[in-house]
Every structure is written in structure tokens, then in C-alpha cells.
Amino acid sequence: MNAAVSVLRPAPGNAATHPELTDALRATVSTKSATALALLRAAVAEFGTQGELAFANSFGAEDMVLTDLILSNALPITVFSLDTGRLPAETYSLIGEVERRYGTKLEIYFPDAGAVETFVRSHGINAFYDSVELRKACCGVRKMEPLRRALAGRKAWITGLRAAQSVTRAGLPVREFDSANGLEKLNPLSDWTEAEVWAYIRINEVPYNALHDQFYPSIGCAPCTRAIAVGEDVRAGRWWWENPETKECGLHVKEA
């Protein structure tokens, strides 16, 4: 064989998505799952059963844990997602799988078509690479405005955020007031580790995004997400051209 010709080989397995299911890890996940479920049930009792409480599902691993806890236990919590129009194909496949697996239809919110057209015509199809300001403006059109519509009339919303995910989420509480959106915000998995998230998924055979096995621990829009190298921070693949301190889209940034 010509030495100059390279042969493509399958990537090695991603150990992060297949943690060793030790007795200790199983016990911890069982305890934390029960705590998270109790928090969700208490939230239903506090905020109501008629759509006052909603879960924002972006179909990452953490969100799949919450999806399973909510839908497997038939909790009256609205599950919604934001389709930015630039999600990876694997994410769309997972949306369909979730609806089939749990026998439900998710609430999907889309950005305003006119606003997207105006942004692209003014700045370009991939303007988010040009500056942090334009990237945040793109997120504003594709994520923030649909989120405001999704949260309209709600009393509280639930996220899959974890404190260990990035420097922008350090010290994340289980519950906080979201002043930007004017309602309570619950983060049931705030103290979970990545290994605990994946142990729950493996133990309960929860569907997940196929990109996770390809070293994508954090998945957003396709142009703004890449795989990470061994040893990199789990959020390193999101907006990788920016400094870690700016790596939020606006959905989870507190007002000063």
C-alpha cells in the first residue's frame, strides 16, 4: 500500500459515555435520582399541573435524564425544545426517537423567519464566527426570542444545567429566580457529575444523541459545536473560537 494513503478507521470508544457501573456509582445515582424526582414532584405541587411548569429540553445527556424522569413518571410538566434551524441531524433523529419511546409529542418552538432572514441578509449566513457580538445576536434571534415565547405564562422552568459543566456555571443552585424571564428556575441536576449522568442513562437505557459517542459532550447548533480532545473541558467544543468566559448563548446568563 502507498505510504501516502491514509486509511480511515473507527474512532476508539468514548469512555465518558460508558462509565464503569460500580456498586458505589449505582447507589449514588439511585439516591440522586430519587432527590431529583422528589424536587420535580414538589415543583408540580407548588406551581401547578396545567402548563405552569415547563422543562426546556435541548436533548443533551443531562436533558435526557430529566426527560426520562418526567415522562416515565407521567409528571404534568410541559416538555419543550427550541429548534434553531441549524441543529445537527443527530438531534432531529433523537427528537423523533423520544416521541416514539415515550408516546408523546414535544412542543417545538422555532425562530421568527423574518428575523432570521434580516440577520442573515445583514451579516451573512455564518456571521457568528466574526465576533462575539454577532454570535450572541444570532443566539438572540434563534434561541432567546423563541424561549421568551415558550416561557410566556409559565410560573417556573426546569433546565438540565450542572455546576461542573463550565466556569460560567460554577456554584449553580438547585433553585434560583430568573430575573431575565421573571420566573423561578429549577436545576435538579446541578450537583450531578458527568459519570452520574451517563450511569443513569446506561442503567435506565435512556436514548441519547449519537454525537455523544463521537466525543461531543455538549451539543448545540451544528456550526457552533465540535468534538473535543481527551482532557479538554466538556464545554470546549461549544463556540470553541471564544474565551470560556463568554461561552453562553444568553439562555442561562443572569442579569447584572
Instruction: Name the residues annotated as catalytic.
Output: 249
63-78: string of b/e by CB count within 10 Å (b at 16+)?
Answer: bbbbbbbbbeeebebb
Contacts of 227 (CB under 8 A, 6+ apart): 214, 215, 216, 237
d(CA 57, CA 108): 10
Which grid coordinates are listed for 76?
A: 404534568
Contact indicator for 183, 151 with CB cutoff of 8 Å: yes
